[in-house]
Amino acid sequence: MWYGKLRALRLLALLGAFCFVAGASLPGLTLVNRYSPLNKERSPRQATEYIILHTTEGPGKGSLDKLRKYGEAHYLVDTDGTVYRIIDRKRIAMHAGRSMWQGRANLDAVSVGIEIVGYHDRPITAAQKTALKELLRQLQSVYKLPDSRVLPHSMVAYGRPNRWHPKPHRGRKRCAMYLGRESLRAEIGLHEKPSFDPDVRAGRLVVADAALERVLYGPDPAASKSRTSSVAVDTNDSAVIRAGRSAWDIAREQYNAAGTIYRFPDGTTRKGSEIRDWGSLPAGTRVTIANRDSEREGGSDRVQEIGKDGKNAWEIAAGAYNDADTIYFLLDGRVRKGNELSRDNLDTLPAGTRMLVGYLDGGFLSRARSAYDAVGPRWNLATTFYRFPDGAIVSGSEIDESKLPNRTMVFVPR
């Protein structure tokens, strides 16, 4: 009797030790805590309306390190089904970047982000499907979210205007696009999905990637009996520029980055940041993205500069250059919105003028008005920017809130 009790106790202790090691607070999942050093600094999320699915586009180890370093996901699902916790699910993770769904922008503030080790155009493993199914079931139950609110990143990401797409557009990412397909969704327990893009239908965005749109909303080839239909979706990922395949199609928003290398047919090479005349890139030019890191959904690359990121305001903001949410930091110290400057002003802004595209003015801070008062829980995110009275522009992830001078201005993504 006594001996039996001891055995039961030992069993309990063993189980306890196992749960501690695995960090498993949710039953039926192998959860391992690998919290980001940024976890504790992230504000609690005020609401949870979506779960956003991502593919890492790289192997597990390096992805886990990067995601932890920048606090870019709540969970990572490895190929063997292990689920790593990176940011506490109650806090804000930076995973969706420039995003919009049903008119609501910046979904980081209202979503849980799950990264899946794998690639947007390749199948995920059986172990990942099993783990994802259970993780989703539990998160959907905690947050009361229907299947139609579990969305691939590519469905909600959008791009700022550029020389190829002068309007804000869908297609900035192909991240996790196969998780928009009915057949794969069914395998992870999701039985409903959006049947159209609400922001495209409402005219807020245009479609910049027709192949992606077919994957997300077109007929699912796996659901059809015909084998030939499985090649109906052209997701041509060739890295060579030709008619109908632009630098943007290949590199997306990395097209003009220093880490994007163009190798011309004559053998010479150039960095994306050195190219000015995007209209004259010859067919046969090969594009290599050397630094995928700069594709992070953080924010450091969002402050742009006339003369550096583009010849003029139009090249940087395209169709949005005179919009109220394009912010100009003029060289004389004034800060103006696109709709406050005359066309003549806009055309002649000198090199060195800095810009934020797609940003809202949170106003001035003072002793009586803190950063949190002005912009809420997003105050310390990398995508929030502070403009100090001396003209310096600093990301929210780098500021010390107790040292913000009077009359500091704050800007948050729309």
The residues facing 32 across adjacent strands are 84
Kindly tell me which of 249 and 297 has the beta carbon lying closer to Zn ion: 297
305 neighbors 350 (Cβ within 8 angstroms): no
Q: Cα separations (Å) of 132 from 31, 93, 107, 409?
A: 12, 18, 21, 42
Q: Cβ neighbours of residue 272 under 8 Å, at least 6 residues apart?
A: 247, 251, 254, 255, 256, 257, 258, 259, 260, 261, 262
Q: Is 53 a binder of Zn ion (CB under 5 A)?
A: no
Q: How far is the CB of 154 from Zn ion (least distance, A)?
A: 7
Kindly tell me which of 155 and 346 has the beta carbon lying closer to Zn ion: 155
Kindly tell me which of 42 and 54 has the beta carbon lying closer to Zn ion: 54
Q: How far is the CB of 173 from Zn ion (least distance, A)?
A: 6
What's the rounded Cα separation, in Å, for the pair 18 and 32? 11
x/- contact string, 64-103, with Zn ion (CB under 5 A)? ----------------------------------------
Among residues 333, 297, 294, 329, which one has the least CA distance to residue 313?
A: 329
Kindly tell me which of 153 and 354 has the beta carbon lying closer to Zn ion: 153
Q: How far is the CB of 141 from Zn ion (least distance, A)?
A: 24
Return the residues of window 134-153 that contact Zn ion according to CB under 5 A: 153
- Binding footprint of Zn ion, residue count (CB under 5 A): 3
Kindly tell me which of 175 and 215 has the beta carbon lying closer to Zn ion: 175
Q: How far is the CB of 413 from Zn ion (least distance, A)?
A: 16
Q: How far is the CB of 325 from Zn ion (least distance, A)?
A: 23
Return the residues of window 99-128 that contact Zn ion according to CB under 5 A: none
Q: How far is the CB of 376 from Zn ion (least distance, A)?
A: 24
What's the rounded Cα separation, in Å, for the pair 91 and 377? 10
Q: Cα separations (Å) of 397 from 165, 174, 256, 379, 382?
A: 30, 27, 24, 8, 5
The CA-CA-CA angle for residues 113, 117, 120, to 5°, reads 85
Q: Which of 42, 45, 54, 252 binds Zn ion (CB under 5 A)?
A: 54
Kindly tell me which of 107 and 175 has the beta carbon lying closer to Zn ion: 175
Return the residues of window 289-348 that contact Zn ion according to CB under 5 A: none
Q: Cα separations (Å) of 268 from 20, 84, 206, 262?
A: 56, 44, 35, 8
Of 49-57, 200-208, 351-359, 387-395, the window that binds Zn ion (rule: CB under 5 A) is 49-57
Q: How far is the CB of 108 from Zn ion (least distance, A)?
A: 11
SS3 content of the chain, % helix, strand, coil (to 5): 35, 20, 45
Kindly tell me which of 157 and 257 has the beta carbon lying closer to Zn ion: 157
Which DSSP helix (H) or strand (E) runs through 151?
strand 150-152
Kindly tell me which of 96 and 346 has the beta carbon lying closer to Zn ion: 96
Return the residues of window 165-184 that contact Zn ion according to CB under 5 A: 175
Q: How far is the CB of 365 from Zn ion (least distance, A)?
A: 32
Q: Where are the alpha helices (DSSP H) in 125-170?
A: 126-143, 153-156
Among residues 50, 52, 184, which one has the least CA distance to residue 128?
A: 184
- Interface residues with Zn ion (CB under 5 A) are 54, 153, 175
